[in-house]
Amino acid sequence: MKIGICTDRIKDSYTYMKSGEIFFSPLFEMFAAMHVICNPEHHTARLHWWERVKEIVDEQLISDIRELSECTNQWFAPMDFVTFDTYPVRDMNIEEALTTLEGYSINTWKKVFSDNGTNVTPTQKQKIINVSRRFYESYFYQEIMILEPLMNTALKKMLKAWEAEGIAKSLSDIHERLKVNESGIVFVKNREFHFKYDEINKIFVTGSVFLSPHLIMGRDNNSSIQTVKHFYAENVQTCPPEELVRLYNGLADGTRLQILRIIKHRPDTTQNLAIKLGISEAAVSKQLKVLSAGGLVTKQRKGNYMYYSVAEEALDFLTYRIYEYLM
């Protein structure tokens, strides 16, 4: 699903006049989840999810997903049907996308898989489709039903940030190993990949809750580049329910909800909040401490004052967090 297209019109932005597109693909996200199943130990931010999946998903299905790990490059290869706008499956729901993929010739599959350094046979192609359908129908359909609207909301906010601040600033926040400077965009993987701005046709970004800590990088034949923004990582050091309790405790008070409503639109100080709420600064500080413990607010010092803002991502994924725990 295309979230939106933006031409960077911020004059001091490194990506000034560059075009970018943000999208979300349920199929891409399902393949990302299957990637985690192949190597859950590498994805420490998804260990709680993996423990839940083991209890729900049939052992044979998990085994079949892992058996296809080699030919699919741990399920990264089929993701490439989605990463750019080359194939229409990007904007389809999962059932329609799998049917469309099944209809593609084996030569099309081989081309996509060869770009990932792997090969695929007609038998493997059909097994990939069948295993993907089983995973969707037995489990992932309920996950994506909760996740898709939340991801769309989060990615729409990213699009607004592109329009307000430029694409380059947002890109630099995607991953610590993605560098944006006046010369170009640098992906630091097993080596550095440099892309000069005048060589970039378009910038594609999607979102995922499964692919952390990977830095995802792609480039197509039209000189467009693609990467993935990670959203919502579980706190491994403080696993639910403690984290969940603190988060919802932050919402379980009228004054704290008023504070969130005020700073949702504009950052504010303890002093100003006390005036607006008609309570003491000490009382505001006490409530902000609870909100901070729940990960619901962030703070930034400006001069002599500390300004508090809503932690947007925490609010965006409230529903998903409670879903994960209850499931």
Which residues does 4 contact at the CB level (< 8 Å), separation at least 6?
21, 22, 156, 159
CA 210, CA 237: separation in Å to the nearest integer?
18
The predicted structure's pLDDT at residue 278: 94
CA torsion angle 54 56 59 65 (round to 10)? -80
Residue among 312, 291, 285, 282 at smallest CA distance from 249 = 291
Does a cis peptide bond (omega within 30 degrees of 0) precede residue 213? yes
| Segment-wise mean pLDDT, segments of 10 residues, the chain, 327 residues | 95 95 97 96 88 93 97 96 89 96 96 93 98 97 91 93 94 91 92 93 95 90 91 54 74 89 91 94 92 88 91 77 64
The predicted structure's pLDDT at residue 315: 78
Q: Are 262 and 269 in contact (CB under 8 A)?
A: no
The predicted structure's pLDDT at residue 38: 96
Whole-angstrom CA distances from 156 to 143, 179, 262 are 20, 23, 21
The predicted structure's pLDDT at residue 238: 44
CA 194, CA 229: separation in Å to the nearest integer?
19
The whole-model pTM stands at 0.77
